Amino acid sequence: MEEETFDEDLIQEHLKYLKSIKLKKGLKINSVEFEKDDDTNHHIDFVTACANLRARNYKIEEGSRH
């Protein structure tokens, strides 16, 4: 039961922090074009790194970029 209380307290603490953040007025979100075949955006490197970190966690063989 202690863990549940701790989790609830932590959640409330984070919610309080998030509510205190002041956002700029007029903030807009714009879409961005993403070209999956353009290797200069390094998306394959990112996915490879994430997959290999997960592999290390579970002590399984890591994969190459290819």
pLDDT of residue 25: 81
Inside any domain, residue 62: no
Residues 6+ apart with CB under 8 A from 63: 48, 51, 52, 55
Inside any domain, residue 9: yes
pLDDT beyond 70 at 1: no
Range of the domain at 35: 2-57
Counting the structural domains of the chain, the total is 1
Write the pLDDT tens digit of every residue in 7-65.
888 999 999 999 998 877 888 888 988 888 988 989 999 999 999 999 999 999 999 99
Q: What is the dihedral of CA 45, 51, 52, 57, to 10 degrees?
A: 150
pLDDT of residue 2: 54
